[in-house]
Homo-oligomer: A and B are copies of this chain.
Amino acid sequence: MEKFGPVRVGLLGIGTIGRGTFEVLARNREEITRRAGRSIAITRVADLDVERAREIVGDQARVCADAAEIVSDPDIDVVIELIGGYTVAKDLVLAAIANGKHVVTANKAMLAVHGNRIFAEASKQGVMVAFEAAVAGGIPIIKAIREGLAANRIQRVAGIINGTTNFVLSEMRDKGIGFEEALAQAQALGYAEADPTFDVEGVDAAHKITLLASLAFGVPIQYDKCHVEGISKLSNCDVRYAGQLGYRIKLLGIATRRDPQEGGPAGIELRVHPTLVPERRLLANVEGAMNAVWVRGDAVGDTIYYGQGAGAEPTASAVIADLVDVARMITVDPYNRVPHLAFQPDALADVPILPIEQARSAAYLRIRVADQPGVLARITGHLADAGISIDAALQKLSEDDGQTDVILLTHVSEESRIVSAIEAIQAMPTVLGEVVRIRREELD
């Protein structure tokens, strides 16, 4: 299938996300190659902890301590920057661009502060600087705004884009505890760093909403103009009062276009602060360390994008999506860089679509019965005979006609088993109407 050699990638920094990226690329090599049309291989890794890096990559990649070696290596096509911070990372990214390499980065701090210069240099050199992993982890929100909503005049973007603070706020509400206690729990569980300032004071969310505002409204990156308030001064009684009024408090990054016809000054509002959100909104129901971004466009209306905003593999998912974008862009025929069906036409699989008899699902059963002793025992007996166990049961006098309904929730079983159990139940003389079966999915 492969007409081209692998895309050769140099990885700068193999901490949590770097390791996740390396491991997901290795685990899903076949799947990713079928999509990208060629394989993607991390051939070089730079990390100050050379020993640890060697333990992770084995003989799959050459390891060195000096990242500068990699950004100037003529055998490297793409550089992944996962060092973080504003200074060293920026210098390495600019050097990689100057050497004609494409760059993939998860570094929102660097882009919020130096992005205008970095993107200008990249455009001059004709290389891509991809940064899906910089905002909302694995959620493809940059692609959604930049490409998926390209038809729209975007009016507003509001997001839960920092998992640490959302976890702390969820704990404060659920457990009725104060900020300090909730933060300590988040730290104990690994959701907050030892020095949590960047997260809890809103700086991280501000980096991200600044980038999203540029994508949404077509303005240069202006992090210094973002209004930033964190959650550290939030008192539990306000969380409680908000709840009594039908609201939840979330740390939102909000970017809003203000048009002249609204009466006030025209421009863009850019802010991060604790915000009361009505509890009926989906955004208010995003709990724990999850992220979600709400985007309103004039044509599309309201859209929401939800998922894990941090963590090794969700972030790796975004890093690798960017690598696949680069691989597709620099390879194969120009008009089919993204294959119609996601996978290259010659890489479609012949995995069978299973007949419904082999599908597996839990079930809701409603059985209308004559109210005689032993009916439930016989029904559950038929289910047991088919190897189906029961999750919950409810016996009700039907409100419609006063007959008795037996409602059962079963555990997951193969379709053919539940069908034969239903046939047996249906044949019971004490079963009055047709047995109703509706499938059930826990989605967990």
Contacts and interface: CB of A to CB of B under 8 A. Distances in A.
Interface stretch (A62-70, A83-91, A180-188, A211-219): A211-219
Contact of A126 (B24, B120, B305, B335): B335
Nearest to A154: B31
What band does the interface of chain A fall in when counting residues whose beta carbon is under 8 Å from B?
35 or more
Contact of A300 (B148, B252, B314): B314
Contacts of A333: 126
B354 A265 contact: yes
Query: Which among A144, A150, A273 has the highest number of chain B CB atoms within 10 Å?
Result: A150
Contacts of A144: 140, 143-144, 148
Contacts of A337: 329
A109 interface: no
B147 A140 contact: yes
Contacts of A273: 438-439
A396 to B, nearest CB: 7
Integer count of this chain's copies in the complex:
2
For A123, A323, A354, which residue has the most chain B Cβ atoms within 10 angstroms? A354
A311 B307 CA distance: 26
Contacts of A420: none
15 contacts: A28-B151, A123-B340, A128-B340, A138-B301, A146-B338, A216-B342, A218-B343, A237-B400, A238-B436, A266-B351, A270-B353, A273-B438, A281-B443, A300-B317, A304-B306
Given A220-B341, A278-B444, 14 more contacts: A122-B336, A140-B148, A149-B317, A237-B400, A241-B396, A242-B364, A245-B407, A275-B438, A276-B441, A297-B317, A300-B308, A300-B318, A301-B307, A301-B314
